Amino acid sequence: MGLALAPEIAVLAAAVAAIFVHLFGKERGGRAAGAVALAGISAALPALILAGRSGGQFFAGSFTLDGFAVFFKAVVLSGGLLAIAFSFRYFRHEGTEPGEAYDLILLAIVGMMFAVSATDLVAAYVAFETFAIPSYILTGFCRRDKRSPEAAVKYFFLGTLSSGIMLLGMALVFGLTGETNFAAIGRILNGAGEPLALTGMILFFAGLFFKAALVPFHMWAPDVYEGAPVPIAVFLSTAPKAAVFALLIRVAAGLFGRFEAQWTGLFQVLALATMFWGNLAALLQRNIKRMMAYSSIAHAGYIAIGLAAWGGPGRTAVMFYLFVYVFMNAAAFGLVLLWTKGSGFGEEVSDLRGLARMSPLAAASLVFVLLSLTGIPPTAGFMGKYLLFQAAVGRKLYLLAAAGALNSAISLFYYFRIGRAMFMEERPSDSAAARPSPSVVAVLALCALILLILGVLPHLVSDWASAATFLNP
């Protein structure tokens, strides 16, 4: 059992260590805390492999370690790793190294790792809040920028409201069944007809939809991703989304299997609304962070196609897409850190003008990331969309698949505004000829490489995902 929790313990230990390191480390403490965080996550990944070998249920069935959980823990850890890698650059430029940022990221990761394993209402809620509360604080970390605290307040109010709604749904479910364990609830709900259970399900899901930023529960996302410090936006737009979709799949399959016809219909509607709204709104943006915020909303819509298709292929597609999404979305937000502008970073599309001349490697990597976001081969993003659309077509959801395809064509228009700026427009001569940050270029190139490898050899991850879709509620 100790081994089963080893990854969580590694991250938690790193979080505690980071607190002390930056408390006692004086001015270099923040940097040291970051190193501790990086070490903690790096240790958690091999621990996860070891833990995955055992598996089973713990804490009276409230914590399940199955292939599904292991897969999502790996996704969450990858998101955390990328966020911390970008943090070094960001906070060095900001001048302050707030060590507590690293503690909070680690704590949020622990919460997510528990959330993807939760098979009990109480455990799920506690895990959910464990990653929600650090997220609110992290959003407001950039006190210099007025948008940051404003976003934090907005996020906090809407977030707690949605948590409350979710809790209400959980309470209904508990009241109907008298159980908190997913498996036990599933047995009772699937046996007897209980119309109120549908209300419980909708309230429960609403909380999750909010965190996944599905339209019409997305209002907070553009403001939060734009206002939050860049590495935090990287973090918030990737890891929690994976955790929330994992919980959604577990809950939908385990608790509300009886309502499959209802919720697959619901996901179809949400997928359509989210894709179109996200992509059309992104067309209007000039600020990269805001554009990518809408883009990440649209991607949640693509993922919802997989949920609407459901079945083994649908879940495999969702899992593969989330894995890939972490790398392409992290790169899409992280690219803002390439160049500084004034006291901050160049956030406008026009700030990337002439990048192809300054750093061909960075520009080529970014083009690759943009192709992946659009869904053009030979990238992992294409393979992800292929799996999603294939799952939908397999369920005869032809129009949904066609809508997804149409959306990827729409998204090309705004993604390649960035491509155009990098390759086809000249850098104005009056702007500083600063070189793009080498560390950021390295991370972007790494993301592009992963997207290329998974674009050519997608089965490295899709076979893993497909083996892990078997749920063990």
Partner 1 sequence: MPILSVITFFPLAGAVLLLALPRGRGKAVKLAANVVTGLEFAATLLLLRGFDPGTAEMQFVERAPWIKSAGIQYLLGIDGISLLLVLLTSLLTFLATLSSWKAVAHRLKEYYVFLLLLEVGMIGVFVSLDLILFYVFWEVMLVPMYFLIGIWGGERKLYAAIKFFLYTLFGSVMMLIGILVVRGHYGTFDWTAMTGAGTFLPAALQGWVFLAFALGFAIKVPMFPFHTWLPDAHVEAPTAGSVILAGVLLKMGTYGFVRFSLPLFPEASRKFAPLMIGLALTAIVYGALVSLMQKDMKKLVAYSSVSHMGFVMLGLFAFTPLAIKGAVLQMINHGISTGALFLIVGVLYERRHTRLIADFGGLSSRMPVYAAVFLIMAMSSIGLPGLNGFIGEFMILMGVFPVNWIWTAVAGLGIVLGAGYMLWLYQRVMFGRLDNPANASLADLSAREFATFFPLLVLVFWIGIFPKPFLAVIDQPVEKIVRIVHPEKEAAAVGAGPAEVR
Amino acid letter at 369? V
Q: Is 321 in the site for partner 1 (CB under 8 A)?
A: no
Binds partner 1 by CB under 8 A, chosen from 153, 157, 459, 470:
459
Cβ-proximal residues to 312 (8 Å cutoff; 6+ apart), any chain: 466, 469
Binds partner 1 by CB under 8 A, chosen from 413, 432, 435, 449:
413
When the beta carbons of 153 and 402 are compared against partner 1, the nearer one is 402
When the beta carbons of 372 and 437 are compared against partner 1, the nearer one is 372
Binds partner 1 by CB under 8 A, chosen from 162, 180, 408, 469:
408
Distance from the Cα of residue 292 to its chain's centroid:
13
The position carrying tokens 């704590």 is 107
| CA angle 322–469–196, rounded 5-degree value | 90
Binds partner 1 by CB under 8 A, chosen from 19, 21, 165, 412:
412
Check if the beta carbon of residue 204 is closer than 8 Å to that of residue 164.
Answer: no
Of 8, 176, 33, 165, the C-alpha closest to 104 is 33
When the beta carbons of 117 and 279 are compared against partner 1, the nearer one is 279
Query: 3-state class of 64 per DSSP?
Result: strand
| DSSP classification of residue 349 | G
**Structure tokens given for 278:** 């996200």
Binds partner 1 by CB under 8 A, chosen from 39, 280, 386, 442:
386
Q: Is 463 in the site for partner 1 (CB under 8 A)?
A: yes
CA dist., res. 133 & res. 141, Å (int)? 13
| CA angle 90–436–414, rounded 5-degree value | 85
Q: Is the peptide bond before 216 cis (omega within 30 degrees of 0)?
A: yes
Q: What Å distances lie between residue 16 and 23, 107, 136, CA to CA?
A: 11, 9, 20
Q: Which stretch binds partner 1 (CB under 8 A): 70-78, 164-172, 247-255, 461-469?
A: 461-469
Q: Is 458 in the site for partner 1 (CB under 8 A)?
A: yes
Q: Is 71 in the site for partner 1 (CB under 8 A)?
A: no
Q: Is 469 in the site for partner 1 (CB under 8 A)?
A: no
Q: Is 402 in the site for partner 1 (CB under 8 A)?
A: yes
CA dist., res. 57 & res. 300, Å (int)? 30
Distance from the Cα of residue 263 to its chain's centroid:
22
Q: Which stretch binds partner 1 (CB under 8 A): 16-24, 145-153, 262-270, 380-388?
A: 380-388
Q: Which stretch binds partner 1 (CB under 8 A): 11-19, 238-246, 399-407, 437-445?
A: 399-407
Q: Is 409 in the site for partner 1 (CB under 8 A)?
A: yes
Q: Is 416 in the site for partner 1 (CB under 8 A)?
A: yes
**Sites of contact with partner 1 (CB under 8 A):** 356, 360, 367, 371, 374-378, 382, 386-387, 389-390, 393-394, 398, 401-402, 405-406, 408-409, 412-413, 416, 419-420, 423-424, 457-459, 462-463, 466
